[in-house]
Amino acid sequence: MMKAILKTERTKGFVMGEKPIPNNLKPNEVLIKVISVSICGTDMHIYNWDAWSQKRINPPLTVGHEFSGKVIKVGSEVTKVKIGDVVSSESHVICGKCEYCLKNKGHICENTKVLGVDIDGCFAEYVKVPEENLYIATSNLDPIYLSVLEPLGNAVHAVKHFDVKDKDVLIIGCGPIGLMGIDVALASGAKRVFATEVNPYRINLAKELGAYLVFDPRSYNTLEMISKHTNNKGVDVVIDFSGNKYAVEEAVDYVKPGGGISILGVFNDKLNVDVNKIVFKGLHIYGVTGRLIPKTWEQIDELLKTNKLHFNKFVTHIFSFDEFEKGIEVMNEGKSGKVVLKL
């Protein structure tokens, strides 16, 4: 038996329980002894049992989709990894057969199953996943931090869709992935990174990560601030991690002609965007979902080799697995960057 964090009822909360170790592997599956897991906003939705989770989640379920671990058993057809490898993992289990998978667009696979959402996840002592999902650690990064590579991949996907080298970038929203976005942009050669955020704790984190200018858009007019610091030209790239309706509606004003807007945030309301500005400014709009498979993971690997990412700054809290409620608490309070649980 193994310890696992479970969603057992259709109500708020998780419980620590026991489940059988998932030893029965398909030929392409790998059993992993978990080293660390990290808490995502999706986990918070499921914990708080909001409207989205009530529609999507079917308890009982082992939650969690971000982890690192060591391979301890492999299926009969596994060739990519071996016992003893330290790994992180893509959380989207794709079919490999649909129209999009066959076009190398697995991030929009029409049959995607997400760990800890559609199938049992990784908040447990052991987890099994297809070998195709695994990223084998090749850098000297502490394995505790490897669990955050999956959300880091969201930031990498959003930032690196556009060439940010020597460019001005605006990050909207400095939650954990937005903070990673600042780090990724600077590590990718951005000239200056501007950032907006309403949470004082995360404003300070954004500054510590090296953002050129960080401000609360409730206190300062974003367009005026961007115009002032860019000689009225605007930034080259805007990246939204917030899901804030009004910020993204105005993003077409923040970006210069020929610039780009990446959108990772998810919105509760329809947006009212001036499409004429997109047309006449020649803007490029890109919707970000998940990570490009395998391109984003290859980009992560290249970034790790530069040693330019500051995991010790955007990972702000590390608790033991048994202290998961403390991690949930700081996440709910918004007084954290990324929160990791170590086993």
Residue from 42, 112, 222, 316 carrying the catalytic annotation: 42
pTM here is 0.96
Whether 45 is catalytic: yes
State both tokens at 56: 């999507």
> Which CATH number fits the domain that encloses residue 142?
3.90.180.10
Tell me the three state secondary structure of residue 236: strand
DSSP state of 110: T
89 DSSP β-pair partners: 134
To the nearest whole percent, how much of the chain has pLDDT over 70? 100
- Which pLDDT score is estimated for 268? 84
Average pLDDT score over residue span 229-245: 97
* Non-local CB neighbours of 267 within 8 Å, separated by 6+ positions: 243, 245, 248
171-187 confidence digits (pLDDT tens): 999 999 999 999 999 99
- Which pLDDT score is estimated for 139? 87
Domain boundary residue, one of 287, 310, 329: 287
269: pLDDT confidence band, cut at 50, 70 and 90? confident
Whether 42 is catalytic: yes
- CA 130 centroid distance within chain: 20
State both tokens at 212: 């050129």
36-88 confidence digits (pLDDT tens): 999 999 999 999 999 999 999 999 999 999 999 999 999 999 999 999 999 99
333: pLDDT confidence band, cut at 50, 70 and 90? very high
Would the CA dihedral through 4, 316, 297, 159 be positive or negative? Answer: positive
Does 111 score more than 90 pLDDT?
yes
Does 138 score more than 90 pLDDT?
no
Which range of residues forms the domain containing residue 86?
2-152+291-342
Neighbours of 232 (CB within 10 A): 9
DSSP state of 119: B
Residue from 45, 229, 284, 310 carrying the catalytic annotation: 45
Helix or strand run (H / E) with residue 291: none
- Do 283 and 296 belong together in one domain? no
> For helices 176-187 and 200-208, what crossing angle results, to 10°?
20
193-235 confidence digits (pLDDT tens): 999 999 999 999 999 999 999 999 999 999 999 999 999 999 9
DSSP of 41-101: HHHHHHHHT-HHHHHH--SSEE----EEEEEEEE-TT--S--TT-EEEE-SEE--S-SHHH
Domain count, the chain: 2
- Do 205 and 304 belong together in one domain? no
- Do 283 and 298 belong together in one domain? no
- Do 159 and 283 belong together in one domain? yes
Average pLDDT score over residue span 271-281: 96
